[in-house]
Amino acid sequence: MLTRIRTISGGGRDFRLFVLLTVLSAIIQAAAVLVLFPLLDDLFGGTPVDAWPWVLAMVALIGAAWALDILAAHKGLAVGLSLMHAIQRHTPAAILSWPTPVIPRSKAARLRTLLSTGAVEVTSAPVLMVGPVVTAVVFTAALGIGLLFFTVPAALVTLAGGVLMMLALMLSSRLITRADEEFAAATENLDDRLIDYVRAQPSLRTARRVSAGARLVDEALVSARRRTLRLLFWQVPGEILFSVVLQAVLIGYGLTVWLAVDNGTLGAVSAAVTVIVMLRVVEQVTGLSRLSVGIQSLNRTLTEAAEVVTTPVTTPTAASPTPPQIIVTDVDVDFPDGTRSLDGVSLDLRPGTVTVVVGRSGSGKSTLLRTLAGLAIPTSGSVSLDGVAAESPDLRGNATVVFQQTALGAGTVKDNLLAVNPDLTQTDLERLADASGLRGVLEEIPTGWDTPVGELGDHLSGGERQRVGIARALAKPSHLLLVDEATSALDAHNEAAVVESIRTIRADYTTVIVTHRPSTLSVADTVVVLDDGRIIEQGTPAELEAAGGSFAHLVQEWRNSASWRVGRGN
């Protein structure tokens, strides 16, 4: 645990002081307990007044331990804050630099939890969990060593009993954690099956294979029940083990003290103090047992955070100052499950041109855009940037993306653009407003650039949010513009405004647009038709429509959909 905290926080001065202060406090607390031996011997001996120096020593030790605990708590809070900041700082970069192109759904869920709740929970963890663990271990060891000067048998039992209880606590915690993991895996698999089943409903109904999807859900339910029963198998021994060992240690300790008193090697006062010592050890360990669930949860959070922090970060390269030429050569992209999303794709994207990519759902359009953005790594083939082979950092540095659903950050309209490029001047902002079609929106709102956008932009309409998204994309000093279904959720007026924005800035970018709306074709130099990951048609809109192939059929479907109206004649 301490190793992970040092890795995540950087192991600076606050971390070292926190550990040192906690260790010193535990040693002083143990010394305060051991002072009871001479104190009670004098107090119940022939001259009780001789106990005063030991009383003063105990008070001084307790005061010192209290002061050290306060200082340790301050340093522990500083360490907790550094952990939170490290998680929040490293997680986005780690996600972008993840070793595999696609992050598994279960891993993505854990990363969301780490960023949303884990980062906050670790702020108090050093004080509330790490401190008690260090104190319990050091206190027990210090007491055992100190008892060697008073009663060797009790010292050995203290050390052995403390070790046994710690081991039992660790083992029981691991058994309980194993049970929790079994249950989490079962419910996670069931959730995935249910989500996939819901998403696949249209396809399953079309193919009349609903029963096949239901069968997979039934299998997941059976697996969940089986793993839940296995949970009991691991959880029950975990709950019992620590209690059994604790009772055994107490019985052993009682026998040791009784035998020592019986053979005269331990007096009545020392025997009473020895029992107090053992009860203090038991108190420390049982205190940890109450924290065991939280400690295991903290360990999982720290493990995730350490993986994030140690993930090698690939820094995007500086963007080309002019629109780049992108050449895609025989690119294949395979998913981890073996599915091929792109198959032998080759493209020549020239500066200042607009390429529109169309195709039915699942044809590979989004994967192509992710590949051009450096977010999906080709299984084979290559992508070059101005004649030079491009790796993911090169593409990420040159690409800027307008997403289908624009999620804005908290703050104002201006804040969202400055978050992408802090060097923007007011003149730059005005230029971006004109280029993105945002000017009209700002003029209609009294607060203009200082308008709060709300959580994820929910204070703005869909069209307003999308125009801010375009402005934010253009704020990045990059000249490869990738647009992913940016008009799919907009009405005709806002759709026309977005298309006009693209027309306005097209000369400054190499633009690729994924769409299933015909309006975008008006700005297209080239249309690429994808089917099952392959390019089946490529050319100008007029050429492809005249050819009467897949593109012509898609355009006709779009026109039919646009002219369809609900009415008596339909």
**Complete DSSP assignment for 167-191:** HHHHHHHHHHHHHHHHHHHHHHHHH
Domain limit, last residue, from 310, 341, 376: 310
Task: Report the C-alpha gap between 562 and 518 in whole angstroms.
Answer: 10
pLDDT band at 490 (very low <50, low <70, confident <90, very high): low
State CA 209 to chain mean position distance: 36
Torsion sign (Cα): 166, 167, 171, 172: negative
Amino acid of residue 89: R
Whether 239 is covered by a domain: the verdict is yes
- Judge if 282 and 341 occupy the same domain: no
Whether 146 is covered by a domain: the verdict is yes
- Judge if 336 and 282 occupy the same domain: no
In 3D space, the residue among 465, 473, 525, 475 whose CA is nearest the CA of residue 497 turns out to be 465
Least confident range of 9-13, 26-30, 352-356: 9-13
**Virtual CA dihedral for 417, 421, 427, 432, nearest 10 degrees?**
-50
**Virtual CA dihedral for 416, 422, 428, 433, nearest 10 degrees?**
0
Report the pLDDT value the prediction gives residue 185, as an integer from 0 to 100.
Answer: 59
Amino acid of residue 271: A
Q: Are 396 and 564 in contact (CB under 8 A)?
A: no
Number of domains in the chain: 2
Asked whether the predicted pLDDT for residue 566 surpasses 50, the reply is: no
Q: Name the residue with tokens 């097209």.
A: 506
- Judge if 288 and 347 occupy the same domain: no
CA angle 533, 535, 541 (to 5 degrees): 130
Domain limit, last residue, from 256, 286, 310: 310
The CATH number of whichever domain residue 367 belongs to comes to 3.40.50.300
Asked whether the predicted pLDDT for residue 294 surpasses 90, the reply is: no
Task: Report the C-alpha gap between 363 and 405 in whole angstroms.
Answer: 20
Q: Which residues pair with 538 in a beta bridge?
A: 528
Whether 318 is covered by a domain: the verdict is no
What count of other Cβ atoms lies within 10 Å of the Cβ of residue 453? Answer: 22
- Judge if 533 and 467 occupy the same domain: yes
Six-digit token string for 482: 């990738």
Domain limit, last residue, from 250, 275, 310: 310
Report the pLDDT value the prediction gives residue 537, as an integer from 0 to 100.
Answer: 92
Whether 178 is covered by a domain: the verdict is yes
CA angle 451, 457, 459 (to 5 degrees): 60
- Judge if 255 and 341 occupy the same domain: no
- Judge if 255 and 140 occupy the same domain: yes
Report the pLDDT value the prediction gives residue 100, as an integer from 0 to 100.
Answer: 62
pLDDT > 90: percent of the chain: 16
The distance between the two most distant Cα atoms of the chain, rounded to a whole number of Å, is: 116
Report the pLDDT value the prediction gives residue 68, as an integer from 0 to 100.
Answer: 94
Q: Are 476 and 423 in contact (CB under 8 A)?
A: no
Which residues form the domain of 426? 326-563
Asked whether the predicted pLDDT for residue 456 surpasses 60, the reply is: no
Whether 315 is covered by a domain: the verdict is no
Q: Which residues pair with 74 in a beta bridge?
A: none
The bridge status of strand 480-484 relative to strand 510-514 is parallel
Helices and strands, counts by H and E, the chain: 21, 10
Task: Report the C-alpha gap between 53 and 402 in whole angstroms.
Answer: 76
- Judge if 460 and 492 occupy the same domain: yes
Whether 316 is covered by a domain: the verdict is no
pTM strictly above 0.75: no
Task: Report the C-alpha gap between 3 and 302 in whole angstroms.
Answer: 10
Please give the sequence-ordered ranges of beta strands (E in DSSP) within 268-319, or none if there are none.
none
Asked whether the predicted pLDDT for residue 232 surpasses 60, the reply is: no
Whether 568 is covered by a domain: the verdict is no
- Judge if 128 and 263 occupy the same domain: yes
Six-digit token string for 403: 């997403």
Whether 319 is covered by a domain: the verdict is no
Top mean-pLDDT range of 27-31, 154-158, 260-264, 462-466: 27-31
Q: Name the residue with tokens 């050290």.
A: 68
Asked whether the predicted pLDDT for residue 56 surpasses 90, the reply is: yes
- Judge if 282 and 427 occupy the same domain: no
Amino acid of residue 407: A
- Judge if 306 and 337 occupy the same domain: no
The CATH number of whichever domain residue 61 belongs to comes to 1.20.1560.10
- Three-state DSSP at 19 gives helix
- Three-state DSSP at 346 gives strand
Q: What is the pLDDT of residues 82-114, one digit of tens each?
A: 888 888 888 877 777 776 656 666 677 777 778
- Judge if 354 and 295 occupy the same domain: no
Q: Are 487 and 520 in contact (CB under 8 A)?
A: yes
- Judge if 135 and 214 occupy the same domain: yes
pLDDT band at 74 (very low <50, low <70, confident <90, very high): very high
Least confident range of 352-361, 398-407, 542-551: 398-407
